[in-house]
């Protein structure tokens, strides 16, 4: 089975045998081409539309849609955090240390056996010749996958609802009763909430409580309809784990990631991609940790497409896979270059289209090498040089390298915090003024 496998943070490509040691009939060339072509197309869609939506997101004022800005410090720490998380998952699920009373020479005689309940370590006491079995997995993989399914069920519904909301708004009639709602979660006890001592005085003209807001999410009836439609897909995924439902969630995660995760400048993007370049190469070529973790969990952390779709239809089960990290990580860099294009005010999207073409080239090269060598390939090994190198070469040719690396995006949340602070200061001043008048 030729497949591109992903771990929770990033992606890699692998070619290997069928799962559980079973023998599969070889895929046809048509089926392989269809699977790889579909994966390539599915990878391009969230990058293209996510980049376009990131422009509107950066200009928006809705607190619920504000992007999360990645700084150079965040970018430098991310590969380390990702490596620790990946290794922790591998050790947590695959390593179990036997009872401490069986140590020393006893451990030298242990061997691994397979049973219906999974792998166990069989240790023989040299004195009594008794065999002692210990599980090699701390928790059953079935329970872990169930917890992951429930977790991604909730996240997937929210992500898919946010993804389809702008599209679905076009289908609502003009007379649709679109009521507004607000989910507000503030800090403080009951007396400090709205209506308590922390609230503005009646008649002051102030409408908000003077206490910190932890969650302030505004939505409407149209959003609730989108949430209901997304829940149908969520139940389908939870019950069947069908590959189409998996892909709908995966596409939604990818598009939201490209839209809502913003790099503050090109240098930060280079640090992030460079660090994950090393991370990807090490964990794929240096160890089997990434592939093992990717194979161990059933979660929509990858896009899949069956290579035997032409033979088995929608019930096909011989999948090619692409990790979401191979979409989101280069995607947020491509989206940054689109916003840089717009900042130049030249009515051209040269760097966006260049980086987009570079992504197609890099991912195509990844698939080609994986198919030829039948071995796990770190996709960022090919994507990072292409996505960084091509735009930099264009900037050198146009004499805009300085402009590219000096381009800086401010954090919308910081700007909102400043605005919020000024509003609170104004309201506090107004409140004090009213108190003086009353005196």
Count CA atoms within 13 Å of residue 112 on its CB side: 9
DSSP H or E run through 183: strand 180-186
CA 334 – CA 350 distance, rounded (Å): 11
- Tokens 């960084």 -> residue: 388
Q: Which of 395, 393, 377, 373 is closest to 385 using CA atoms?
A: 393
CB 307 within 8 A of CB 318: yes
Catalytic residue among 2, 7, 308, 326: 326
Rg of the chain over Cα atoms, rounded to whole angstroms, equals: 26
Catalytic residue among 7, 280, 308, 341: 280
One DSSP character per residue, 307-374 reads TTHHHHGGG---EEEEETHHHHHHHHHHHHHHHHHHHHTSS--HHHHHHHHHHHHHHHHHHHHHHHH-
CA distances, 419 to each of 61, 310, 414, 423 (Å): 11, 57, 9, 6
Count CA atoms within 13 Å of residue 187 on its CB side: 4
CB 66 within 8 A of CB 413: yes
317 in active site: no
CA 172 – CA 222 distance, rounded (Å): 8
280 in active site: yes
b/e code 64-81 from CB counts within 10 Å (16+ = b): ebbbebbebebbeebbee
Active-site positions read 280, 326
């Amino acid at each position: 089975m030729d497949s591109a496998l992903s771990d929770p943070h990033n992606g890699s490509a692998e070619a290997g045998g069928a799962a559980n040691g079973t023998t599969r009939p070889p895929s046809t060339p048509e089926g392989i081409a269809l699977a790889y072509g579909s994966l390539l197309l599915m990878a391009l869609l969230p990058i293209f539309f996510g980049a376009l939506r990131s422009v509107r997101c950066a200009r928006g004022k809705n607190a619920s849609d504000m992007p999360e800005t990645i700084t150079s410090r965040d970018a430098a720490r991310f590969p380390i955090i990702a490596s620790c998380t990946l290794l922790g998952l591998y050790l947590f699920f695959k390593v179990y240390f036997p009872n401490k009373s069986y140590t020393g020479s006893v451990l030298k005689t242990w061997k691994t056996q397979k049973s219906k309940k999974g792998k166990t370590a069989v240790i023989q006491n040299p004195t009594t010749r008794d065999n002692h079995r210990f599980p090699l997995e701390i928790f059953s993989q079935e329970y872990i996958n169930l917890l992951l399914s429930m977790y991604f069920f909730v996240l997937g519904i929210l992500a898919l609802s946010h993804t389809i909301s702008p599209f679905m708004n076009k289908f609502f009639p003009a007379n649709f009763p679109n009521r507004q709602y607000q989910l507000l979660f503030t800090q403080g006890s009951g007396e400090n909430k709205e209506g308590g001592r922390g609230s503005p005085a009646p008649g002051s003209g102030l409408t908000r409580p003077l206490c910190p807001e932890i969650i302030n999410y505004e939505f409407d009836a149209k959003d609730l309809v989108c949430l209901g439609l997304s829940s149908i897909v969520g139940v389908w995924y939870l019950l069947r784990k069908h590959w189409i439902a998996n892909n709908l969630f995966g596409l939604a995660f990818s598009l939201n990631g490209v839209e809502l995760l913003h790099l503050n400048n090109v240098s930060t993007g280079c640090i992030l991609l460079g660090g994950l370049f090393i991370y990807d190469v090490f964990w794929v070529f240096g160890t089997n940790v990434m592939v093992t973790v990717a194979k161990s969990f059933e979660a929509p952390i990858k896009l899949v497409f069956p290579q035997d779709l032409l033979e088995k239809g929608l019930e096909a089960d011989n999948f090619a896979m692409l990790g979401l990290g191979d979409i989101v990580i280069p995607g947020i860099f491509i989206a940054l270059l689109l916003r840089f294009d717009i900042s130049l005010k030249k009515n051209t999207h040269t760097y966006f289209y260049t980086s987009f073409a570079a992504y197609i080239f890099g991912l195509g090269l990844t698939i080609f090498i994986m198919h030829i060598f039948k071995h796990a390939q770190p996709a960022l090994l090919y994507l990072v040089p292409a996505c960084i190198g091509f735009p930099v070469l264009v900037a050198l040719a146009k004499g805009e390298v300085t402009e590219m690396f000096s381009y800086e995006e401010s954090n919308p949340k910081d700007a909102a915090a400043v605005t919020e602070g000024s509003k609170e200061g104004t309201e506090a001043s107004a409140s004090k003024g009213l108190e003086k008048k009353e005196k």
